[in-house]
């Protein structure tokens, strides 16, 4: 047998052996999965307490942000390598990179949630270039700062003072029952806000640069009367 | 190894094929522009990382063809004898071919791609950025290209006629076999497992209660193992190419 063929055979054997070794490592990871856990498709990382959340990256996978006693981050196992996070002072900074899809198709997406961020209390959230679902927060004050063509679904939140700032073609929509005593809504740079699912005592809107605010008929009439 | 021999071998290769390389360069720029035009026209249909797709199609297509132009003389007996008798060692010949088809080619390809990408972004007035080679681990494809480069060079040194076609068919066959073997070993090691997809040496996915669950190598294991695959595998393939060329000399 020629030396080239011998070397090639050794290489093939070495590759097959490494493949089997890698599979033994994968087997160990498989046995660590808790199949009774609802979040078995996700890897959960516990974090320290923080009150400001900054998320940026891509809009390919939706990001759930919800209130929970214990702060944690759960990332879809297949997307674990795309998550970077760190805490700086009181701020959790997350970068969740990946594919970018057309913002127009985000509302109808069927892609599973890529990241679940749980926090007990959030005074401020800054979301850039991402598709977000902010759900179930109940606290005195809540500020959402939406940037860079981000799209945010805001569902079942309660706050005495709610501030939503949308810029750089961002859009947001209130779903189900969101309540606020005073809602400060600021839209600029061609941003769009749908306020149909928001109940408030006082609305303080501010708009610039061809932005669009969509209100229910009753809310619009109430605003005109004032 | 004598560096002046390597320099002369590279100069000879470039001088002899300069016209073809220049035309191919223009063709590559044209092909990349055409693909960018396609994704722009159908931008609502092509969502996701389409630029990355264009980069990979261009890299593997043009890189494969360029690599296959190394040792072209071996497909013709008289020219092959002339190449083997060139006053340089077989190691120098293989080294110069690797240098040209991996390092030099990659530098030129990256230059052409980013030029076309920048032109595309400026002409279509898009707000996006140039393709980020180092985001999301995309740079791993560069290592994959080096493995591909080693396989094409090995194919060139092994097959006299239709080496590129034969190598492509073999690569496809080997990938299918490796994947089948990988799934088989996983299902053998883990009873009742039904693998829906797998990436040898990296991860697999299976279905549980109607849900796809992904199993990925722990990051520390991956960090320790992948350099072995990315660096040693191309080196081994280039080394075997050298042995094959050396055998022809004898």
**Backbone phi and psi for residue A95, each to the nearest 5 degrees, phi listed first:** -120, 120
Has residue A2 got a pLDDT over 80?
yes
Q: How far is B172 from chain A (nearest CA, A)?
A: 16
pLDDT in tens, B23-33: 999 999 999 99
Q: How does residue A137 score in pLDDT terms, banded at 50, 70 and 90?
A: very high
Query: pLDDT for B121-178, tens place per residue?
Result: 888 876 667 777 777 778 889 999 999 999 999 999 998 888 899 999 999 999 999 9
Q: How far apart are CA B212 and CA B9, in angstroms?
A: 53
**What residues in B contact A102, CB-CB < 8 Å?**
43-44, 47
- Please say whether the beta carbons of A88 and A54 come within 8 A: no
pLDDT band at B228 (very low <50, low <70, confident <90, very high): confident
Chain B's closest residue to A98, CA to CA, is: B136
Q: Is the pLDDT of residue B73 over 70?
A: yes
Does any CB of chain B come closer than 8 Å to the CB of residue A25? yes
Contact A22 B240 (CB under 8 A): no
Task: Please name the residue of chain B whose CA is at the shortest distance from the CA of residue A105.
Answer: B44
Owning domain of residue B69:
3-249
Say yes or no to pLDDT of A226 above 80: no
The count of domains in chain B is 1
CB–CB contact A40 B218 (8 Å): no
Confidence tier at B58 by pLDDT (50, 70, 90):
very high
**Which CATH class name applies to A42-225?**
mainly beta
In degrees and rounded to multiples of 5, residue A104 shows phi and psi of -65, -25
In percent, how much of chain A has pLDDT > 90?
62
The pLDDT of A174-201, averaged and rounded, is: 92
Q: How many CA atoms lie within 13 A of B214 on its CB side?
A: 16
Across chain B, mean pLDDT equals 88
Over the stretch B177-227, which tens digit does the pLDDT of each residue have? 999 999 999 999 998 888 898 999 989 999 888 888 889 888 888 888 888
Digit-coded pLDDT (tens) for A190-224: 999 999 889 988 889 999 888 999 887 877 777 77
User: Cα dist. B104→B14, B90, B96 in Å?
Assistant: 11, 20, 10
Helix B50-68 / helix B105-123 crossing angle, nearest 10 deg: 150
| Annotated domain spans of chain A | 1-32, 42-225
Please compute the mean of the pLDDT values over residues A172-200 and round it to a whole number.
Answer: 93
Quote the pLDDT of residue A173: 94
Residues of A in contact with B43 (CB under 8 A): 102
For residue B217, list chain A residues with Cβ-Cβ distance below 8 A.
22, 25-26, 29
Contact between chains at B136 and A26 (C-beta distance less than 8 A):
no
Tell me the residue length of chain A: 226
Q: Measure the CA–CA gap between B138 and B128, rounded to whole angstroms.
A: 17
- Whether the per-residue pLDDT at B44 is higher than 80: the answer is no
């Amino acid at each position: 047998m020629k030396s080239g063929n011998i070397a090639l055979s050794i290489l093939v054997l070495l590759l097959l052996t490494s493949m089997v070794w890698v599979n033994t490592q994968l087997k160990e990871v498989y046995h660590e999965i808790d199949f009774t856990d609802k979040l078995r498709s996700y890897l959960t990382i516990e974090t320290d307490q923080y009150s400001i959340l900054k998320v940026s990256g891509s809009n390919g996978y939706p990001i759930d942000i919800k209130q929970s006693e214990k702060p944690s981050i759960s990332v879809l196992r297949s997307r674990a390598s795309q998550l970077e996070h760190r805490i700086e002072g009181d701020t959790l900074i997350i970068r969740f990179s990946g594919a970018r899809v057309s913002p127009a198709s985000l509302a109808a997406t069927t892609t599973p949630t890529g990241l679940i961020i749980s926090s007990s209390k959030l005074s401020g959230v800054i979301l850039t270039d991402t598709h977000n679902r902010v759900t179930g927060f109940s606290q005195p004050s809540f500020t959402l700062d939406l940037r860079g063509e981000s799209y945010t679904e805001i569902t079942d939140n309660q706050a005495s003072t709610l501030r939503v700032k949308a810029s750089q073609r961002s859009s947001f929509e209130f779903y189900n029952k969101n309540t606020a005593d005073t809602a400060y809504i600021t839209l600029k740079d061609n941003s769009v806000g749908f306020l149909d699912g928001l109940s408030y005592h006082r609305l303080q809107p501010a708009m610039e640069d061809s932005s669009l605010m969509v209100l229910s008929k009753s809310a619009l009439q109430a605003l005109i009367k004032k | 190894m004598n560096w002046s021999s390597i320099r002369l071998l590279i100069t000879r290769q470039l001088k002899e094929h300069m016209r073809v390389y220049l035309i191919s360069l223009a063709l590559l720029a044209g092909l990349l522009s055409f693909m960018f035009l396609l994704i722009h026209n159908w931008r609502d249909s092509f969502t996701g990382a389409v630029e990355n797709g264009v980069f990979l199609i261009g890299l593997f297509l043009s890189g494969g063809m360029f690599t296959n132009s190394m040792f072209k003389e071996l497909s013709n007996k008289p020219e092959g004898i002339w190449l083997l008798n060139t006053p340089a060692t077989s190691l120098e010949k293989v080294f110069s071919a690797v240098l040209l088809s991996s390092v030099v080619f990659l530098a030129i390809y990256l230059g052409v791609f980013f030029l076309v990408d920048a032109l595309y972004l400026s002409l279509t007035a898009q707000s996006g950025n140039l393709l980020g080679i180092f985001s999301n681990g995309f740079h791993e494809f560069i290592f994959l290209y080096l493995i591909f480069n080693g396989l094409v060079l090995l194919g060139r040194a092994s097959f006299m006629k239709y080496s590129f076609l034969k190598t492509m068919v073999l690569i496809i066959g080997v990938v299918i076999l490796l994947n089948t073997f990988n799934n088989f070993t996983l299902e053998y090691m883990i009873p009742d497992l039904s693998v829906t997809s797998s990436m040898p040496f990296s991860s697999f996915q299976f279905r549980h209660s109607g849900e796809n669950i992904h199993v990925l190598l722990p990051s520390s294991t991956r960090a320790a193992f992948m350099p072995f695959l990315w660096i040693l595998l191309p080196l081994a393939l280039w080394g075997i190419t050298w042995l094959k060329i050396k055998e022809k000399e004898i």
